[in-house]
Amino acid sequence: MNGEIFDCGDVDLQNGSRLSNARLVYQTAGRLNAARDNVIVYPTSFGTHHTDIAWLAGPGRTLDTDRYFVVIPNMLGNGLSSSPSHQAPGTFPSISLFDNVMLQHRLLREKFQVERLKLAVGFSMGAQQAYHWAALFPDMVERVAVICGSAKTSRHNRVFLEGVKAALTGDPAWQGEYFRADAGQGLKAMARVYAGWGMSSQFYRDEAYLHAGFHSVEDFIVRVWEGFFAHKDGNDLMAMIGAWERADISANAQYNGDLTKALGSIQASALIMPSRTDMYFSPVDSEEEVRLMPNAELCVIDTIWGHRVNNPTQNPKDAAFVEKQLARLLGSDAS
């Protein structure tokens, strides 16, 4: 399941700037049926590629490729789709999740002639994109599953991201607006900030990292967090962080900043799945969002793993719970 390229041409972005020669790299799995109505869109999350999240899709899996046509579009800025690392430093425009979803919509309409989605699903920033799908195209999306994400990035979430940015841009290669070279020191510092926010205090108190195969807290930080960010591009990360900070399903001409209206317009059967111990996508925020949607269910993941509930290797219990709930949501599909 190698990535394919959708060339979008020159794209006018939400903020009025232009992205030249824009492209989405995407992966598909399964077969599109004759009616073109068995489609699931599954956007990537912060810093991930389609290969990192494809485990959820396959024959007999929750996103069953014997039944569904699964499309995994890579987010702008992730190093595969159009990203700062593809251009001269400082020349990549500011992007939003609105921009991402509008290009994904073009991909589905122009490449595959898709008019209906069985499901929009995502984790973290991928979940924020799934939320955008449901709000921007309410007549198109039948179901939406939001795993550890939000309709709008909260103030507290932005405080977390400001700390991440401060650590990353403390690298000597930072020039005030972009990195002129590799941000190795900043990436390590960012990873250590993330390690504190990404997991719950109970995770560390209970020494859950030992049960996951790590020898110590330091071993866990180095192998998981530093390992994940070590080969990322600093400018790519900054572009995605900016899109994350500005994420808001109502920040567009369709809703003019009215989040209540945007949430109320979502017609999809919605499964909103926060982690009980997530410190930046708070269950409290999810409760409020569910209250404002007409067809939504809150399903809290009871875990000590904080934000990190979608790793089937290190945390199979939570990953299995997520899969079970997605299967239940898709179980209403009688076609």
Active-site residue, selected from the candidate residues 82, 99, 307, 318: 307
What pLDDT does residue 334 have?
A: 46
Please say whether the beta carbons of 59 and 113 come within 8 A. Answer: no
The question of whether 85 is a catalytic residue gets the answer: no
pLDDT tens string, the chain, 335 residues long: the values are 468 999 999 999 999 999 999 999 999 999 999 999 999 999 999 999 999 999 999 999 999 999 999 999 999 999 999 999 999 999 999 999 999 999 999 999 999 999 999 999 999 999 999 999 999 999 999 999 999 999 999 999 999 999 999 999 999 999 999 999 999 999 999 999 999 999 999 999 999 999 999 999 999 999 999 999 999 999 999 999 999 999 999 999 999 999 999 999 999 999 999 999 999 999 999 999 999 999 999 999 999 999 999 989 999 999 999 999 999 999 956 44
**Residue 46: how many CA atoms within 13 Å on its side-chain side?**
24
Output the six-digit token pair for 165.
Answer: 């940015």
Residue 58 burial by Cβ neighbours in a 10 Å radius (0-12, 13-18, 19+): middle
The question of whether 215 is a catalytic residue gets the answer: no
- DSSP string for 10-33: EEE-TTS-EEEEEEEEEEEES---
| Ordered domains of the chain (ranges, CATH) | 4-154+247-330 (3.40.50.1820), 158-240 (no CATH)
Phi, psi of 314 (to 5 degrees): -85, -30
**Residue 27: how many CA atoms within 13 Å on its side-chain side?**
22
Angle at 184 between CA 180 and CA 186, to 5 degrees: 85
Phi, psi of 64 (to 5 degrees): -75, 110
What pLDDT does residue 3 have?
A: 87
Please say whether the beta carbons of 202 and 277 come within 8 A. Answer: yes
Active-site residue, selected from the candidate residues 278, 285, 286, 318: 278
Active-site residue, selected from the candidate residues 124, 150, 265, 275: 124
Output the six-digit token pair for 279.
Answer: 């410190």
Phi, psi of 36 (to 5 degrees): 55, 40
Q: What is the 3-state secondary structure (H, E, C) of 106-133?
A: HHHHHHHCCCCECEEEEECHHHHHHHHH
Cα separation, 3 vs 52, whole angstroms: 12
Q: Which pairs from 106-114 meet CB under 8 Å and 24+ separation?
A: 106/6, 106/8, 107/6, 107/24, 107/26, 107/71, 107/73, 108/39, 108/41, 108/71, 110/6, 111/6, 112/32, 112/36, 112/39, 112/69, 112/71, 113/36, 114/32, 114/36, 114/37, 114/39
Please say whether the beta carbons of 89 and 178 come within 8 A. Answer: yes
Taking the model in full, what pTM does it have? 0.97
Cα separation, 176 vs 169, whole angstroms: 8
The helix-helix angle for 234-245 and 125-136 (nearest 10°) equals: 50
Please say whether the beta carbons of 243 and 95 come within 8 A. Answer: yes
What pLDDT does residue 1 have?
A: 46
Sign, Cα dihedral of 246, 249, 253, 256: negative
The question of whether 231 is a catalytic residue gets the answer: no
Cα separation, 241 vs 244, whole angstroms: 5
Q: Which residue is it, tokens 């994420």?
A: 247
